[in-house]
Amino acid sequence: MDQSIDQERQLLVRLAWLYYVGGHSQEEISEQTGLSRFKILRLLSKARDAKIVKISIDHQSVETHRLADALCRRFGLVECIVSPPMGATADPQADEARARHAVGICSAAFLARRLQGATSPIIGLAWGRTIAAMVDEMPKINRPDARFVSLMGSLSRTARTNPFEVVQKLAETCGGEAYILPAPFITDSEEDYQIIMAQSLVRQTLALAQKADFYIASFGDCSMNSFIHQHGLLRSEEIEDVLASGAVADMLGKFFNRDGKPVPSKLNYRTPGISIDDMARHEIVLLAAGLAKAEAAEALLRSGLINRLIVDGDLATRLISE
């Protein structure tokens, strides 16, 4: 391909992503790129004519491939999918929401591809806002033989990030079956954990999870501002205890330190779900969105448990630079 044509296509992809996915105004894009609003409008129209803008946006570019390759080499990944960087604004919460949306689009395309090429697939799912973003972007696929199983316990209230809603909606979208782990995210004690894990319905669901083709996981950072603390899943004394043990990340109900090792906290024995040994035996696809997750993402990538990564471009850039 002629270099000038290739460079123009890269520009069209970036502008389309910033405008249609990132939600940036033409004025904001003009400030970022140095292009006039008139030229941006003309190029966006050209992107539509070139079929870059369709149901989703063709996000592959030289920049994203470079970042993906660097992350694969650094962390020993089988595959990495990176959305185009969109740049930070003065609103971190809006930036994080845009990052989740971008990763949701990329991960939905990944899952659709894997489902189309599988026979009687079993997919293990975590829960969280990034997982919910993936489910929201999932196209209709007729796969009645697909089974989707939750890998961890639930929130105490209905929410679009809850395992029940995530797994059920994905099953409905694909015409498949949903399997929910009938357990809370965390038990009151280790004794309660043992009782719940011994229940037949729990054991049956986890037995199916252990047969999954792969797991799709999201994760959280460990802090007093973390999702699990802010939404009342852990009390202040519990989050203080796990922080004192060195935890910087939680994934699939387990807590990890900066080196990606499980921390010596009792909380790791109070969260019903798959075990760390189960994680080690399965392919794990990690969804990572938002610069605030940089430390936690790097810790999990050091764990050796992650095989594939789907990440927004700004976080990917941060992970490469650290």
Contact 190, 269 (CB under 8 A): yes
Outline where DSSP puts E strands in the chain. Answer: 79-82, 122-125, 147-150, 177-179, 214-217, 220-221, 249-251, 254-256, 284-288, 308-311
Q: What is the DSSP code string of 3-70? A: HHHHHHHHHHHHHHIIIIIS---HHHHHHHH---HHHHHHHHHHHHHTTSBSSSB----HHHHHHHHH
Give mean pLDDT, residues 48-62.
67
pLDDT at 163: 62
Give mean pLDDT, residues 16-20.
85
User: How many other β-carbons are positioned within 10 Å of the β-carbon of residue 168?
Assistant: 18
In whole angstroms, give the CA distance from residue 184 to residue 175: 27
Give mean pLDDT, residues 71-89.
94
pLDDT at 159: 47
Contact 252, 273 (CB under 8 A): yes
Q: What is the Cα Rg of the chain in Å?
A: 20
pLDDT at 23: 81
pLDDT at 56: 57
In whole angstroms, give the CA distance from residue 41 to residue 37: 6
pLDDT greater than 70 at residue 50? yes
Unique residue bearing structure tokens 């941006």: 40
pLDDT at 275: 96
pLDDT in tens, 239-250: 889 999 999 999
Question: pLDDT band for position 59 (50/70/90)?
Answer: low
Contact 254, 271 (CB under 8 A): yes
Percent of the chain with pLDDT over 90: 66
pLDDT in tens, 243-292: 999 999 999 999 999 999 999 999 999 999 999 999 999 999 999 999 99
| Cα dist from 217 to 4, 21, 130, 316, whole Å | 39, 22, 9, 17
In whole angstroms, give the CA distance from residue 272 to residue 224: 22
Q: Which two tokens stand for residue 124?
A: 């293990």
Closest listed residue to residue 228, CA positions, set 306, 128, 296: 128
Percent of the chain with pLDDT over 70: 92
Give the SS3 label for residue 195.
helix
**Count of residues for the chain?**
322
pLDDT at 48: 81
Question: pLDDT band for position 158 (50/70/90)?
Answer: very low
In whole angstroms, give the CA distance from residue 322 to residue 316: 10
pLDDT greater than 50 at residue 14? yes
pLDDT at 102: 95
pLDDT greater than 90 at residue 216? yes
203 backbone dihedrals φ, ψ, rounded to 5°:
-65, -40
Question: pLDDT band for position 33 (50/70/90)?
Answer: confident
pLDDT at 20: 82
What single-letter amino acid sits at 295? Answer: E
pLDDT in tens, 176-211: 999 999 999 899 999 999 999 999 999 999 999 999
pLDDT greater than 70 at residue 304? yes
Give mean pLDDT, residues 80-93.
91
Give mean pLDDT, residues 144-159.
81
pLDDT greater than 90 at residue 47? no
Q: Where are the alpha helices (DSSP H) in 123-184?
A: 129-137, 163-174
